[in-house]
Amino acid sequence: MSDNGHQQNGHENVPSRQRRRFEGISSRTYEHPADRSALVALRKLSGFDTVFKVLSGLLPERSLRLLFLSDSVRVSDAQFAHLNTMLRDACHILDLEKVPPMYVTQDPQPNAMCIGLDEPIIVVTTGLVELLDEEEMRAVVGHEVGHALSGHAVYRTILLFLTNLALRVAWIPLGNIAIMAIVTALREWFRKSELSADRAGLLVGQDLKASMRGLMKLAGGNHLHEMNVDAFLEQAEEYEAGGDLRDSVLKILNTLPRTHPFTTVRAAELKKWAESRDYQRIMDGHYPRRTEDKETSVSDSFRQSAASYATDVKNSKDPLMKLVSDIAGGAGDLGGRVRRGFGGFAGGTPKDQTAPEDRTSPKDQPPRDSTPEDDD
């Protein structure tokens, strides 16, 4: 499709270029395996829609919609027209028929989200709008439309609700523990869903450099002349491989309360996906269609998810993950060494029947003399 550049509200003019449209694309195309397996399983549950319709009456979704409607600016042809054009463009490329409403809310913190149970709504902050250029913002809008297409908005809303609930019942020990266990699991899923949405943003913008610039700006602000993509990606590699087991534990503790992966990690993951054969096949027009979603196997999705985690552990440079991988890879040999070392005890062989070589003194040391010097 043709994407005509324009200049509005201080945004620089961008050149026209051709971008591929993905007709009938399934969200499974870009979803991270761990994200995809959870979504496939939930979609297969009977009564899934009914449960969430009931939940929608309990969650403050109507309140959120009224809040944004009354105290934010709704994107349209009359307001933030350049964002409205990007939104419709993203929905066209990902073939999302119903364009979700989008709001700009006053907040200096750069952020964007897609929430809602009945219908998704997209919210971006003024801090984000002012930070990013046209192409970087296009990737962000595509990111949020990817959330909408995957149905992430439903689970994001539930996560927000449960997080608030956990704060309210913090004084109840067992109640808080139970809710926080669910919240922790949801956060792990949501971190993977963010990687999925980053991929959707790349499919919409089809400009890896713009996606990288946007992530760098989220980390370091609007100082591109002071930043370098290669150096930024080196940070991700240093973060993963650096330190010892203590640092590995600290990484886990730092990650648990977050809903988003660290920015350098997101950049490295997106670049790796953009250079993969899967991405090239998608760009060549070979991708799953929505019409095939009902035929998707839950067990196959979970196997793919497990394989993805196993590959991550195997290829990881993190000290703890390397230890786990070494133990898993050498488990058979370790067992053999244990059997060889304790075979005599396992077979019930008496101690005095042990082979002579097993009874030699350590290092074949000579007999000790009973002299005072031996006690030094």
Edge-to-edge strands, sheet with 102-105? 73-74, 102-105, 121-125, 112-115
Residues in the chain: 376
Whether residue 113 contacts residue 123, with contact meaning beta carbons closer than 8 Å, is answered with yes
Task: Say which residue the tokens 């324009």 belong to.
Answer: 6
Active site residue 234: no
SS3 at position 23: coil
Cα distances from 222 to residues 6, 121, 247, 307, in angstroms, run 22, 27, 30, 38
Q: Which residues pair with 3 in a beta bridge?
A: 17
CA dihedral sign, ordered 62, 64, 66, 68: negative
Q: How far apart are CA 33 and CA 298, in angstroms?
A: 12
Q: How far apart are CA 274 and CA 270, in angstroms?
A: 6
Whether residue 213 contacts residue 233, with contact meaning beta carbons closer than 8 Å, is answered with no
Whether residue 195 contacts residue 269, with contact meaning beta carbons closer than 8 Å, is answered with yes
Catalytic: which of 31, 144, 194, 240? 144
Residues involved in catalysis: 144
